[in-house]
Chains A and B, each alone.
Chain A
Amino acid sequence: MILNYLAYGVAAWVFLWGLYGIVTSKNLVHQVVCLAILQTSTYVLLLAIGFKVGGTAPIFADIPVGAPVVDPLVQALMLTDVVVEGTVMALLLSMVVKANEVAGTVDPEELRIMMG
């Protein structure tokens, strides 16, 4: 029974660790990578939701239509997610690089110019 829900537990676990990383980070690059880790928890969850025991890939080039396959829709959702994540990380990392160039630091503690 535990195996049925293990994947969901892993997703929640990774999510919480990603959040912990973001909150306690002392380096902006580290923070962005923790955000990426946070996203992998969504992938684990989506793919676990779409899994079918005994199913194979939903490519019908060599199997007949009607054979048991895993859910193609969550894979399509995940592809969208991957592209979104990659691009948001690119933008965030370029902000970090620019911040390093302009302010000379990547420590969020020292970068807090606006407060209150």
Chain B
Amino acid sequence: MSITTYIPLPIAIPLVVAAFLAFTGKWIGRRACDTLAIACAAGNLFLTLAILRGVWSQPYVYWFGNWWPRPGGVALGICFSIDAIGASLALLTSILTTAGLVFSWWIFEETENHFQPLMLIFMAAMCGFSYTGDLFNLFVFFELMSVSAFALCGLKTVEPAPLQGAYNFAIVNTVGAFMIVIGIGLLYARTGALNLAQVGRSLGSTRADSLVLLAFLLIAVGYLTKAAIVPFHFWLADAHAVAPSPVCVLFSGVMVELGIYAVARIYWTIFSGPLAAHVGALREILLLLAALCAVVGALMCFAEHHLKRLLAFSTISHAGLTLAGVGLLTSKALGGFVIYVLSHGAIKGGLFLCAGIVAHRLKRIGEDHLHGRGRGMWFTAALFILGAFGLAGILPFGTLLGESMISDAARDFQQGWFQYVFVFAEILTAGAVLRASFRIFFGWGDPAPTDESSRVEEGPETSEPHNKTPITMLFPAAALVVLGIAICFWPQLRSTADGAAQTFVNQPGYEDMVLDNTSMAVPAKPPEESLAGSILRSSIAGSLALALALGSVFRKRLPALSFTRSLEMGNRALRTLHSGHPGDYVAWQSLGTAAIGGLFAWFLR
């Protein structure tokens, strides 16, 4: 079978299997449903792997319904234009879904088997999102991804907190989705096309006027809402605090990063020509946004004591860092973005699964209640600490390579200050996870200060207590953390990623490939730069994170360490802003859109 037959399968097969499972779920029993779902997800893993191998050097275009474009470059049908970056994100989706489904083998006793079909639909939507080459199709998969996410988030309906989380998630993301539709309408009004390549060719390199800028603003803001960039990020912490752990793995591991991928996609296929005159100004706006996001996320992360909310804020912080990978608007940074997303996704997935193990064994999720109760769970403790160092980006983790490419690119454009944002975010997020693990698994120091949100307790996901962590929970967590390490050892990874990114940013080549059926030029792989600077920075970040964690835990021993207490309590004003009220969140969303719109109107006209 050639690659042509494989391509629709990662989307079509999970959808059909999900429909089948939804119907027969009542009759075939829990175990059969689980097995079928895991088999389907594993099958997707192999399919996406095969597709990745097929598009490794040359991207592939697939037209649905045999609707090849008309002469003159008019695309009537929908196409998938698959390149290495999109294919690797789809592979990450399949890996994380399989891990999540295996993890959920022993939990969720009473969902009437609706959980597995929703996970399969979620996976299919994310794979389709990474592959598509059509503007409206991107939106449809975005909505499919969102609706299954809303449903999965509100799974545990016995308490009111999951409903608050799912509802806030739904309202904020849906407002973002409507902005995307308006942006698509505006682009259609100007160009009369919906295919990414055709829109790009139609806009050409004519300088962007206010309509094109407004379209870019709306579409980017919509996708950045999904990507949880400050000030559109408020929904993420609420949603993660209540969603079940396998679902959080998918949210933080790949769904958030896909929002940033979408911004990169539409920029490099449509807007890089019209905005070419203002690349410098746009770069600075995006970097500022990324830095704000990384800093706010890191500060809130250290101030949280609910394990999953802590990890959620670290996702927000790292999403800011990956936005810099895209916001630097260059292929080297984009290559760094891909490596960072892949390794961060695996590591964060592993950390969420460990948090799930803690909730499963100890029936609690707040750092204060769990003090010292994790003694004896040495394997989970080891994974947690490894994951924390992965967040800090030290040597054997793939995040190091990603950070080095983004920092090198930042220095190339005189934005070297961003390296220190990386270090700051890494210290605080890794420090928070280390602090939590020292308190929970070793019982060092005094119990953590109680805060409002850690009082939201995780209802037990099963009814009987378990005294041993089942292998179906340990194995996926360990596998994901190991994957985060293994990525670092892929030979020549940075040049490969840079080469793939160069294909991604080649707008004229992309248009010709999609509309005129030519092949894209294979770029030369650039030489790899030295890792020494990154290794130094990340080692400093890792050691400072360790020091911060130890200092927080043992702060009573030394009066000089009292500053850690104020770090842990968090900035009062910042915490009040995260109020849990959906009206607040949408108000900040509007303010963010208006502010970024103002910046665009002033600097990019």
Contacts and interface: CB of A to CB of B under 8 A. Distances in A.
Contacts of A42: 178, 181-182, 185
A85 to B, nearest CB: 9
Nearest to A84: B143
Given A88-B147, A91-B151, A114 B185 contact: no
B586 interface: yes
The 8 closest A-B pairs by CB, nearest first: A112-B580, A103-B160, A116-B575, A99-B163, A49-B189, A23-B583, A115-B580, A42-B181
Interface string A88-101: 10011001101100
B167 A116 contact: no
Given A23-B590, A42-B185, A81-B181, A115 B453 contact: yes
A23 B147 contact: no
Contacts of B584: 23
Contacts of B570: 116
B578 interface: yes
B182 A102 contact: no
Contacts of B171: 22, 31, 35, 92
B161 A95 contact: no
B170 interface: yes
B196 interface: no
Q: Size range of the interface on B?
A: 35 or more
Given A35-B175, A42-B182, A45-B182, A102 B158 contact: yes
Interface in A64-116: 73-74, 77, 80-81, 84, 87-88, 91-92, 95-96, 98-99, 102-103, 108-109, 111-116
A19 interface: yes
Contact of A113 (B164, B170, B182, B576): B164
Nearest to A112: B580
B601 interface: no
Contact of B163 (A77, A87, A98): A98
A2 to B, nearest CB: 18
A15 B157 CA distance: 32
Contacts of A95: 150, 154, 163, 166-167, 170
Contacts of A38: 175, 178
Nearest to B165: A114
Contacts of A15: 178, 182
Nearest to B173: A88
Contacts, number: 134
A4 interface: no
B529 interface: no
Nearest to B572: A116
B55 interface: no
Given A22-B582, A22-B583, A84-B143, 15 more contacts: A38-B175, A42-B181, A42-B185, A74-B188, A81-B181, A91-B150, A99-B164, A102-B158, A112-B579, A112-B581, A114-B161, A114-B309, A115-B452, A115-B575, A116-B451
Contact of A114 (B143, B456, B582): B456
A98 B309 CA distance: 23
Task: State the main secondary structure of chain B at its contact with A.
Answer: helix
B164 A88 contact: no
Interface residues of A, number: 41
23 contacts: A22-B586, A23-B587, A23-B590, A35-B174, A38-B175, A42-B181, A46-B185, A49-B185, A80-B140, A84-B147, A98-B157, A98-B163, A99-B164, A102-B159, A102-B163, A108-B581, A112-B581, A113-B164, A114-B161, A114-B237, A116-B451, A116-B575, A116-B578
Contacts of B237: 114
A31 B590 CA distance: 16
B170 A91 contact: yes
A111 B189 CA distance: 42
B458 interface: no
A19 B452 CA distance: 29
A73 B582 CA distance: 34
Contact of B590 (A19, A35, A80, A112): A19
A114 B170 contact: no
B294 interface: no
A19 B160 CA distance: 25
Contacts of B164: 99, 111-114
Contacts of B309: 114
B578 A115 contact: yes
A79 B581 CA distance: 32
Interface string B549-582: 0000000000000000000001000011011111
Given A84-B143, A102-B160, A113 B188 contact: no
Given A24-B583, A31-B582, A112-B581, A99 B167 contact: yes
Contacts of B587: 23
A87 B151 CA distance: 12
Contacts of A96: 167
B586 A23 contact: yes
